[in-house]
Structure 1
């Protein structure tokens, strides 16, 4: 059996708080989490198949672990033969989203569940599947379970923290190798491809690279070439067994002058002021306020932005500390105390009108007495020639 990073007691409590009797989970990241790390490789890159899409379904009835079911694609029968899943009921029968919904209806009927409040992930439930559910189970009502799953995942286990730590370490090593191998004339296309290869070589699934050179704020790939005396900001997300490493580091072609040293120093002061407030029991609002206060003291504050957010399986998850900054969601956890095992991304960037885009992004986990930072190497100027 795959180790689980949650308890059913905790899940049942969260479902009680949301007044839910059952839940159907259909996002690939949450299905993987609930199954203990299992996902079907065939659909790892995309969901589309034929006229429909791959729709894995995890079914849980509150307090009834023995009635849990997993519905997957027909080809998954070979996967679960090799590595059996813990869920007692496995149905590798689906090719389309309506197949998955039909099997979910059948399973709930076998379990005697025909009325109650069912939690669904509204952003991840296709309309054809939901229409089938509503038609077959008219005495059930459907409610968004997204917040329940976010709260279930908010505090990471030591095993999850190890994956996040390792992902960050591998990304920062990849970035330093990429900067060192780049030089005059290296284009953004070439640098991003080199980083991709470095991350893959270290066992990561490369997700993205946001890159700037010189005084441009454009962070997408292009034929722009790196020139002597210019900065590089390199921001990348890499995935290790489902967990995101996401950091930003700075490079410089040549030796940074005093202005560049001072600009990165402003960013670092904001980051460190924020880190120093992080510990279990401190509210998210207090952490954000510390960063904002440090930002307000900086000479280039008019060009600078600061924010923090939770991360783990996805790059923005609980705890949610800010509202609609930079991603659109409510900062519902701002006034709640942080808990040991929560993971935060702390980001500060400056769009300097003459020198370009200067940024540090760091991943930290909350501890009882403070914090631990992941992927600490390369936080200053990484120089090459």
Structure 2
């Protein structure tokens, strides 16, 4: 058995570098972490489970503020971050109320040793995150009957954002709006897709984003027929449609927006397809609000596109939740069982994709409010009959 090096709370009240200010998170954020952890502890009590292992990086950050690598273990009386020496000081800074657990047996070894030290007999784990190899090791240590699988405790809690989370998403969306609007106004033939995507990313980062939320999608001409095409060495040409799907990240929270533009005077087919997608998005947006069934929103947009003759070309769901991850619950799709509630942030993004021709997608980020919705993304869409 490898020794677990546990930094108990009284030893981990790290005050930062000399002259530092200690825990910089503020009372509101610390209170938020405590409230979020209480949801997990309530599940533990209701299900007669001693402790829960959280392995999703997004869930760990949501519950504790920790942004390093490892696992979070929560039990009724406390919790610990099972990590390694690279993140010891970081854990003390970001999550000083939690034990910092280090082990020569790796992150999972630290989990096992910490759980043993706490007298844990029944252990919960995230079944959609833990690998089969990790599960087998937990099974060997605790026995199959002692393990409790769950996948939705923290994910469900994350669907409704608090004011602080909304402010971060709003900030990320605003930074991307400013960058994208200026970028599209200056987009010209002659650049490659890769060069154009690099320039857009540069604007977002210099504009204040901490990171790009996901690899920027920028596809021109026939390449736009692939919903998630990656930038290539193709040179932008006069008469190309250009589909741009991009997001920024601020304090861990993401934004997501898609605009499709045309270089030059748009042809009749582009105007037809763009107008249809624009109509479908507008109709779905008008139905966003508390109590709206996500499946029905998808149906509204899909029916309009189908009536326009392009039903088979709308090949994905209408949207998804956005937060610490760019794709999270709720899901807006034909199979969704989710219902919208105030505080949810979702995308509404119908599209039409035609092999050999190209594709059009229009995506906005939307906050569900008590009375309806607020669009958080403001980059102008096509105007003047789809011309710039």
TM-score band by shorter chain is 0.7 to 0.9
What's 2:324 paired with?
313
- Please state whether the residue corresponding to 2:301 is helix, strand or coil: helix
Alignment of 1:16-35 (within 5 A): 20-35=49-64
**Pick from 63, 71, 74: which aligns with 1:60?**
74
Q: Point out where structure 2 has 5 or more consecutive residues left out of the alignment.
A: 1-22
**Pick from 338, 346, 350: which aligns with 1:344?**
346
Structure 1 pair 163/134, CA: closer, same or farther in 2 (3 Å)? Answer: same
**Pick from 86, 94, 112: which aligns with 2:119?**
112
What's 2:97 paired with?
87
**Pick from 30, 39, 50: which aligns with 2:67?**
39
What's 2:3 paired with?
none
- Please state whether the residue corresponding to 2:205 is helix, strand or coil: helix
What's 1:243 paired with?
253
CA contact (8 A) 2:258 2:364 kept: yes
TM-score of the two chains, using structure 1 as the length reference: 0.81
CA contact (8 A) 2:318 2:349 kept: yes
For 2:175 and 2:314, the matched residues in 1 are separated by 28
For 1:259 and 1:19, the matched residues in 2 are separated by 61
CA contact (8 A) 1:18 1:148 kept: no
CA contact (8 A) 1:340 1:367 kept: yes
What's 1:256 paired with?
266
- Does 1:7 find its partner at 2:36? yes
* 1:302 shift after superposition: 4.6
- Does 1:171 find its partner at 2:176? yes
- Please state whether the residue corresponding to 2:219 is helix, strand or coil: strand
Structure 1 pair 259/18, CA: closer, same or farther in 2 (3 Å)? Answer: farther
* 1:12 shift after superposition: 3.8
Structure 1 pair 253/107, CA: closer, same or farther in 2 (3 Å)? Answer: same
What's 1:326 paired with?
none
- Please state whether the residue corresponding to 1:71 is helix, strand or coil: strand
For 1:17 and 1:255, the matched residues in 2 are separated by 63
For 2:282 and 2:221, the matched residues in 1 are separated by 26
For 2:346 and 2:173, the matched residues in 1 are separated by 13
TM-score of the two chains, using structure 2 as the length reference: 0.81
Deviations 1:264-283 (A, max 9, x none): 22111111111111111222
Structure 1 pair 341/84, CA: closer, same or farther in 2 (3 Å)? Answer: closer
- Please state whether the residue corresponding to 1:184 is helix, strand or coil: coil
- Please state whether the residue corresponding to 1:320 is helix, strand or coil: strand
Alignment of 1:287-298 (within 5 A): 287-298=297-308
For 2:40 and 2:326, the matched residues in 1 are separated by 22
- Please state whether the residue corresponding to 1:32 is helix, strand or coil: helix
For 1:168 and 1:31, the matched residues in 2 are separated by 24
* 1:366 shift after superposition: 1.0
What's 1:359 paired with?
361
* 1:379 shift after superposition: 2.2
- Please state whether the residue corresponding to 2:148 is helix, strand or coil: strand
Q: Point out where structure 1 has 5 or more consecutive residues left out of the alignment.
A: 41-54, 324-329
Structure 1 pair 379/15, CA: closer, same or farther in 2 (3 Å)? Answer: farther
Structure 1 pair 376/11, CA: closer, same or farther in 2 (3 Å)? Answer: same
